Every structure is written in C-alpha cells, then in structure tokens.
Amino acid sequence: MSTITHHIPEPILAAYAAGALDHPFALVVATHLSLCDACRADAEAHEAVGGALLEETAPESLSAACKAQLMERLDAPHAPEPVYRRSGVYPGPVMEALKGRPPRWKRLGGGVRQTILSAGQGGSARLLYIPAGQAVPDHGHNGLELTLVLQGSFCDETGRFGVGDVEIADDTLEHTPVAGAGADCICLAATDAPLRFSSLIPRLLQPIFRI
C-alpha cells in the first residue's frame, strides 16, 4: 500500500469519535481508520477524552418508566451483528455497507460506474469506479464531500490521491478529477448535497444518477 499523505482533519475525527457524524461521512472515516494507523490513534485519543469527560459528568436520574423501558430493551434477545472482513480492495466497513456482497455497478458513462451504498437526509455514500486515465466531469460542490481512494489513484487541481488518501471538498472547490495510470480507480465518496456540474449533459443526467 502506498504511503497515506491526505488524512481526516481533526474536527471531523472529533465529531466521529463523539458519534456526531451522519452515516455517509462516518462510513468514510471508519474505512479510512481501518487503513491509517495515525488517524486511528488520533480517533482513539478523542474517544478516551470523551470517556473521561463522561466519568466527570454528574449522573442524571431516570424516571421509573424510563428505567423499566431501558432494562426491557437490554434484556430483549437479539441476533449478533455479523462481522464483515476485508474482501479484495474493500475494507470491513465497506463490506458491511455492501452486506457482504460484491458491488452492483451502474454505468454513468465514459466507463465510470457507481454503487450507491446509502442515501437519506444526512447525505449519500457511494462507490465510484473510474477507468485509468478517465476524467470525471468538471464540477463544484454545494456542500461537503469526502472521497477515499480504495484502489488506484486520481489527481485534480489540489494534488494526487492514492490508496488510503482522503480528499476533503467543499463549496470553494471546483475540480476535474482524473484517474491515474495503472490500476483503475475505485473510491468511496460521501456527500451531503448534490454536486454542481459545469456542463449541460451531466446536469441533465444528475437526477437519474442521484449525484
């Protein structure tokens, strides 16, 4: 694996450790942490600080009804959650989102394909497959986008991103990502708003492709 040079910023790591990230972004962070020892150590430090703060917080009393409801939920039988391991280029968190199955790719044009992993009010998460040397149409952002490389690489106006690297894009960035030579690029991307395409055809197809 290539050296990871683009990491998760501290504020996003802190929000992840506090459980305050919406699912699409939490999925990207969890996947990056499975690949990056440095960010995983930072996230564990944030969790330790949060645990210490909880220990110092004065306890709140529960009503009898609330306590009974809580104990009922704790006592209720439940099936254990399956543990998904890495498969090929897909780390465990991605395999969990795929429910252990291979991606079901849908063509977007120019050889680019996608698999939508989740979509809702908190945003969307998807896998993107971009053939080597292929460019994604020029676009800007109406919100936040995190893009994590799982295979291959891509470059844009901000630099080069290899396996494990995360690009953080907001409404100030307009770019044209191009997949690098060699292995085709596979990325995990999370957004909280539709992209802002420069050309007409991508804008017309945007509602169909849900990007």
Residue 181 has pLDDT above 60, yes or no: yes
pLDDT classification of 53: cutoffs 50, 70, 90: very low
**Total domains present in the chain:** 1
Strands 166-169 and 106-109: unpaired
Using DSSP's 3-state secondary structure scheme, residue 4 falls into: coil
Please give the residue range of the domain that contains residue 120. Answer: 1-211
CA distance 9 to 186: 22
Q: Does the predicted model carry a pTM greater than 0.75?
A: yes
Residue 199: what pLDDT?
Answer: 82
Find out whether 118 and 96 touch, Cβ atoms under 8 Å.
Answer: no
Q: What is the CA radius of gyration of the chain?
A: 20
Residue 62: what pLDDT?
Answer: 64
What interhelical angle do 10-17 and 23-35 show, nearest 10? Answer: 110
Kindly tell me the sign of the dihedral angle through the C-alpha atoms of 10, 13, 19, 24.
positive
Using DSSP's 3-state secondary structure scheme, residue 96 falls into: helix
Q: State the CATH number of the domain containing residue 211.
A: 2.60.120.10
- The per-residue pLDDT of the chain, averaged, comes to 89
| Sheet arrangement for strand 112-120 | 106-109, 112-120, 123-130, 185-191, 145-151, 166-169
